[in-house]
Structure 1
C-alpha cells in the first residue's frame, strides 16, 4: 500500500490531529516556552510532552491491534509474518509520535547550535524507544482484549506510567519512566546519562516482550516469558537509578576563568556576555567594598574554583539584577543537619540578608520589589541600611552566622545585635 494511503487509513492521523493542539496548549499552560538558551534545559523540558504523546500512541496502537484482530490478518496462512504485519500497521504511529516530539523541540528551540557530543544527544532516541514501546503495548492489548476495554486501558496505563511517577517517592520511580528529566538542567548541569538509559532499557524490554507476544501468540508460557523480560528491565533500571536525586543532573566542568578583581568563570553559552557581566560585577563589588564587605575574588557560574561566589545566571545572561544574583551567591552554602527535620531558625534570615546585600551592592528598593523580593524582607533590609555602617555589618554578620547554626535565632529587627549575641558569632 502506498505510504500516503497507509497514513490516511491509520489511526495515527487522527491521533496526531488530537496531539497537535494539546502540545501547543501544554507548552503555553506550563510556561515551557521560556528557554534560557541552553540546549540541555530546552530539550529536557520538551521531554515533559511525552506524557501526552505516549498515551495517544498507545491508543493508536490499540486501535491498530483491534483492526488486525477484526480483519483476522494473523489467522490462516498469511503471506506476511505477524511481526511484519504489526510493524507495517504501527509505522505511521511511530512517525506521528516522533513528529509530535519534534514539534515540542521546535517550540522550545533555544537559539543555539545543538551539542552533538553530549549526553542529551541520546534523549531523542529515548523518546523514540518509548513511543515504539507504548505503541506496541497498545497493539498487544488490541489483539488480546475487546476494543471497548483495550482502548481505555491503553490510555490509562500509559498516562499513569508517565504522569504519576514524577510526583512520587522514592525518586527512582520517576527516573524509571523518564519522568524526572524535565526537571533538568540549570546552566551549570548536564543531563545524567543514567536518566536516559534507564527508560530506554525498560521500554526496550517492553518492546521485546510485545514482540514475543505477537510472534508466539498469547499463551500462558509466552505471557510468563514476556512478564519475565519486563521484570528484568525494571530490575536493571532500578539498579541504575536508585541512588539518584530528584534532579537527574551532573555538574559541568567546561567553564573558563579569566580576569581579576573579580576573576570571572563562565560556561561557553555565556561567553558572548563576558565583558558585560564583568563590568556589572565590578560595579557591584565596588559598592560592596564601600559598604565594608570583602566578597571572594572569583565569580563562577559553576561554583568552582573555591572559594568563589556562585552566580545563578541562565545561558542568556542578564546583568540588570547582578547585585541580587551576587547576593544570593554570597549567602549560599550547605545547610546544617537540623534543616532536614524542619527545626532550622536560620532559614528566616536568607531573604533579609539577600535584600540587604542587594541594596548594598547598588540596587534600589524599587528594582528589588519589581524583581519579586519579599516585601517584608525588603522593608527590614531598607530600615537596616539606615543604621550606622558598623551596626549594619554587625547585623549582617550575626544573621549570616545564624544560617550556619541550629541554635542561633536570626535578628529580624533593624538594629545591631547585642554584645552577648555577637559572642555567638564564630
Structure 2
C-alpha cells in the first residue's frame, strides 16, 4: 500500500495440498527444482491453497481491499496536508522506512498466537529453527534483509509516484506488477508462459493504457494561466502525470522482481520442510509467513538506514522529523493502516486462495476511482471506466489457468468424497454390517 505495498504485498510461503503430495516429493531436492519451477503459472501450483468462500472469508477480502484504498488515500493526505491541520509531511523515504520497520510487531503476534494455540508445548526457539528451514537463521535473515532493501526501493518509487498522480491512476498502473511477475518468473525461474498468460498480459497492458494515457494527453478544463494546482497532490509540477507514471511503472517492475526473488528464497529455504508438506496446518503456515514479514521489518530497520542517508545527503529528500503532533499522529495512523493491510492480506490469502486474492486485487481500480470521486472530486471519465473493465478482464485471463485448476481440484475432491460416502452408506445398509469393528483373525477355511 502507499508507503507500504500497493498489491499483494509479501508473497506468502508455500502451502502444499494433498493432491500435490502425490506427484511431487518435496524431499527430493534435485528433482523438485526442475519440476517446481514449471508449476507456478501452469495451474498445478505447489503454492496453491484454496478453500470454499464463506461470509467470513469474503469479509476479510473486502476489508483487505478497503484498507488498501484507504491507506493510499490517507498517504496522500499525509504528504499533501490537504484539509487537515498541521500541514503535510512530504517524506516518502521515511514513511516507507517506518511502515516497513513496524512489521517487527509480527514477532509478538506470532508468539502470543502460538502460545494460545499450543499452550506450554510452544517453544519459540524451536519455531525459529523450523522457520529457518534448510538455512541457518543467520543465512535466512541475511537473504531476507537483502530483499528488504529492494522492497524499500520498490515501495519508495511507488510512493513518489503517488505524489504526482491520483490514487486511482496509481492503483491502475500498479496492476502491471502481475504482468512483470509472470514475465520475470518465465525468464529467471523457468516458468511456462501459457497462451492464457500471453493474452492476459496483452489485455492488461491495453486496459492500463486506456486508463492512464487519455488524462495525460487531454488537458484539464481548468488548465491554463492562473489555474490552481491540484491541492490533493503534494507535488504538482510540469509533466507531473508523466513523472508519476514512470515512477509507478518502475515500482511495478521492481515489485515483480521482488516477488520472484521472494519465491526463489522461499523455495530454497523451505524445500523438504514441514511448511511445504501436507502435514503443515494453516495456522503453522500463517505464523511462518508473519515471522518472515517480521524479519523483513528487522532488515528494513537495520539495512535501509544508508538509503535514508543517501536521500538526505543527495538533497532529494532531506531528513526531517514531523513538525508537530498532528503530522506525527497521521504518520503513525498511516503505519497502522500498513500493518493492518499486511495482516488482512495474510488472512485473506489463507482463508480463500492466492488466485482469489490476485483477481480481487483488480477491484481496487474501481474502488480507487470512487474514492477519488467522493474525497477529491475527481470525475470518472469513460476512458478510465472502460480501461478498468479491460484491466480486470486481463487479470482474470492471466489467472485463468490457476483458477480452473482450483475448480477442478475441488470438483475431484468433492467427487471422491461423494463416492466414499455412497460406499459407506451401502455398507451400512447391508444386512451383515456391524457398527463394531471386526476382530482380526485367521481367514476361515473353505471346504
Larger % of strand: which?
A: 1
TM-score (norm 2): 0.27
TM-score (norm 1): 0.28
Point out which structure has higher relative CO (alpha carbons under 8 A, 6+ apart).
2
Larger % of helix: which?
A: 2
